[in-house]
Amino acid sequence: MASTDRIYECAQKLQQANKGGFHVFESEFREVLTGVKGDGRAKRMASQTIARYFVHFPSFTKEALNAILDLCEDDDLNIRKLAIMDLAKLSKDAPELLPKIVDVLSQLLQSDEPSELNVIENSLMSLFRRDGKGEEVRERALDFLLRKIKADGNALLNKEAEAILLQEIKGSLKNCTAEEFHMFMNILDQTSIPKMLSGQAQLLQLATLMADIDKPFDPEDTECVGKFVECAKTASKFLSSQVKGTDFCSYICLEILPQFHSIEDANAQSQILKILAECSQNTASLKEPLKATQNIFKKLLDYVPLPPADAAEKAGIETPDFEFTKVECLLSAYHNVGRESPEYLTGNPERLEDFKKRLTYFARCLKVYIKKLNDFLQQSGNKTKPEHALKALALKCTTNINTLILDLMRNTPIYKAKISLSWIEERKVPTKRPITAVTTGNGVQVNKKARKSFDTSEIRSKAKWQEKGGKVYTPPTGKFSSKHGQFDANGSNGGRRGGSGRGRGGRGRGRGRFRGRKSY
């Protein structure tokens, strides 16, 4: 391996070479490459010399890159930092190395050394500015940005910076891939934007733009189907009573359902129906509610058949192979959208009668299945079985269907029932910290945290208080009470802060001061 002095001599020769005469000094450059295995001084000089002159030796490009990469993993922190900076310089003269270098720098982000991380991040930023449009570089840049915001988002982004980030992402949606869209949404998810209603509405708008719902739906284009499903699933996360999914609901009802049978991917079909059910729960008035209702109804009939001829014998004995989740989706969507056009059923007695026949048969079969599910779930030995969770989910699904059927089976169908869709996990309500009662010197139990909300309706007078065994507060005597005058047990000296309030809903502190409050 070359020593420090020898590397210095080689560097001097390379510095004096003309642009066309570097090939004469290939042996010197080869010696410089061996310097990465020398001592600390040799490594530092070799790294700088390689980064400066490797462009003149294209036949040694691979060796030069590997030499710098070796130094990026050196035990000496200062050598690693120098090599990382020199590594970024290589791509300036050899753009073909840029994806490889960005990939290496991204992997080095796992370092625990703050000063080293700072050098890596600065090097990455310089590369991103150099070629931010390259596909691989864009991907690495987004990955870097996501990691950076996850780690230091609070320190890096204020409200103004978040607004700029949102606008930049919005402007990049036209040309982004599905993977980049996911990365964009993950980045925004690390900010405070999703925590505000206005931010949720903006993110819903981003998903709407990406979904291209202003264009016709092509069920035979797998990319088109997949893109819509992913964007709609992202949008559904932000739906609420104040952030509406009307556009997605209308698009599914009017554009997708008429061509639903042409979608070959069964999983995509299921996802679209789930999205429809979720959007319909948080939807404003649709542009064409009657047509939307009609399309949902027609698709629902595909999964809710008429009773067979021998239904009277088989009902309650066998459960047909129904697709319960799809029925839940479509029945819920019809229940939500159909309330805007109730005349679709009530205005056509034949349609209503046919529909009730189907629902009656379905409900009878459903009753049998629900009983089987309950029997299984109630057996303690089944709680540890893998299928227990699936059975519990099926029970929730079938119970939802039954609830909706009850509304629609009335003489005049109603649309009042509210359900929580079976596949959506309910948010856990945090439990309040238990409060322990404290026993005072008078033997009365009071609760300090609840003293402001005690109910005083039970005791309206001092007489009732004393009948319940309460003791009257006695103020301090001596020099501390001389200025307050004589205590009047009948309350003529004004109300007492905490005196008769103990145990009866007052302040209950007994601080021995009078503030003109009336006694009860």
Choose from 345-349, 374-378, 501-505 the range with maximum mean pLDDT: 345-349
Per the CB < 8 A criterion, the answer to whether 227 and 178 are in contact is yes
Q: How many percent of the chain have pLDDT more than 70?
A: 75
Average pLDDT over residues 232-251: 94
Which has the minimum average pLDDT: 147-151, 186-190, 218-222, 395-399?
147-151
Average pLDDT over residues 289-315: 85
Which has the minimum average pLDDT: 185-189, 199-203, 317-321?
317-321
Give the model's confidence band at 348: pLDDT under 50 very low, under 70 low, under 90 confident, else very high.
very high
The pLDDT of residue 19: 61
What are 156-172's pLDDT values in tens digits?
677 887 888 888 888 87
Whole-angstrom CA distances from 41 to 75, 150, 161 are 14, 37, 43
- For domain 1-156, which architecture applies? Alpha Horseshoe (1.25)
What are 47-81's pLDDT values in tens digits?
999 988 888 888 888 899 999 999 998 999 999 99
**Does the pLDDT of residue 414 top 90, yes or no?**
yes
Whole-angstrom CA distances from 488 to 185, 470, 472, 479 are 70, 17, 11, 18
The pLDDT of residue 464: 52
**Does the pLDDT of residue 30 top 70, yes or no?**
yes
The residue extents of the domains of the chain are 1-156, 167-277, 294-408, 441-520
The pLDDT of residue 440: 52
**Does the pLDDT of residue 300 top 50, yes or no?**
yes
Cα–Cα distance between 388 and 402 in angstroms, integer? 21
The pLDDT of residue 277: 97
Amino acid found at 58: P
**Does the pLDDT of residue 282 top 70, yes or no?**
yes
Give the model's confidence band at 460: pLDDT under 50 very low, under 70 low, under 90 confident, else very high.
very low
**Does the pLDDT of residue 234 top 70, yes or no?**
yes
Pair type for strands 445-446 and 438-439: antiparallel
Q: Which residues pair with 446 in a beta bridge?
A: 438
Number of Cβ atoms within 10 Å of the Cβ of 107: 11
| Residue with token string 């047509």 | 291
Question: Between residues 321 and 148, which one has the greater pLDDT?
Answer: 321
Average pLDDT over residues 30-39: 90
Question: Between residues 91 and 213, which one has the greater pLDDT?
Answer: 213
The pLDDT of residue 12: 87
Give the model's confidence band at 388: pLDDT under 50 very low, under 70 low, under 90 confident, else very high.
confident
User: What's the start-to-end Cα distance of the chain, in Å?
Assistant: 97
Mean pLDDT of all residues belonging to the chain:
80
Positive or negative CA dihedral for 194, 196, 197, 202? Answer: negative
User: DSSP letter string over 432-461?
Assistant: PPP---EE-TTS-EE-STTGGG---SS--S
Average pLDDT over residues 383-411: 91
Average pLDDT over residues 305-320: 65
Residues 6+ apart with CB under 8 A from 173: 181, 184, 206, 209, 210
Average pLDDT over residues 242-264: 95
- Rounded to 5°, the CA angle 96-101-102 comes to 105
Cα–Cα distance between 471 and 356 in angstroms, integer? 68
**Does the pLDDT of residue 519 top 70, yes or no?**
no
pTM over 0.75: no
The pLDDT of residue 169: 84
Three-state SS at 445: strand
**Does the pLDDT of residue 319 top 70, yes or no?**
no
